[in-house]
């Protein structure tokens, strides 16, 4: 990541992480911290808590699971879409319908939880630079490729 890629975001960068599995949440925290050591990371295990945090504070980036036991799973991506917050889905579900629904919300990155750590890191790096990235499992499971939203469509 270059210095110029960080200049469009105020420092320190704030990340909101949402996953209802503690191990997955810890893995996300560690991955973000390995790439952005000074990041402010706010972790939540319920959609309600994450939604409240989004309503009360500004975040530069959001990473969330799509299968949360409590709340509506699309609430957080919908918020990110409306507010133009770059977000990444970190989920074990990468079926064609889910990715199609998320494409309509201008998802920035999608990483399957069973993907290698290198792909998670690559997804975070692309998220930081607002570039589309779908891990190989998401691409294989859906026959879709990341759309190009840079044109403003």
Which pLDDT score, from 0 to 100, does residue 92 have? 81
- The CA–CA distances, whole Å, from 69 to 9, 22, 24, 47, 83 equal 32, 13, 14, 9, 24
Residue 7 pLDDT exceeds 60 = no
User: Backbone phi, then psi, for 92, in 5-degree steps?
Assistant: -85, -5
* Residue 10 vs residue 16, higher pLDDT: 16
CA pair distance 50, 55, nearest whole angstrom: 9
pTM reported for the whole predicted model: 0.81
pLDDT digits (tens, 9 = 90+) for 21-62: 899 999 999 999 999 999 999 999 998 999 999 999 999 999
Q: Among 3-12, 61-70, 86-95, 144-153, whose mean pLDDT is lowest?
A: 144-153
In the prediction, which pLDDT does 51 show?
Answer: 92
């Amino acid at each position: 990541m270059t210095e110029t890629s960080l200049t469009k975001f105020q420092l320190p960068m704030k990340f909101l992480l949402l996953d209802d599995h503690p191990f997955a949440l810890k893995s996300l925290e560690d991955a973000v911290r390995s790439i952005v050591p000074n990041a402010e990371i706010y972790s939540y295990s319920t959609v309600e808590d994450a939604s409240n945090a989004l309503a009360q504070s500004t975040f530069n980036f959001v990473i969330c699971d799509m299968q949360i036991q409590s709340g509506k799973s699309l609430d957080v991506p919908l918020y990110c879409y409306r507010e133009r917050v770059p977000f990444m889905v970190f989920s074990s579900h990468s079926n064609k319908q889910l990715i199609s629904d998320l494409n309509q919300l201008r998802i920035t990155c999608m990483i399957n939880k069973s993907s290698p750590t290198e792909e998670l890191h690559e997804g975070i790096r692309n998220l930081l630079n607002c570039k589309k990235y779908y891990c190989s499992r998401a691409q294989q499971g859906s026959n879709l490729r990341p759309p190009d939203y840079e044109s403003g469509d």
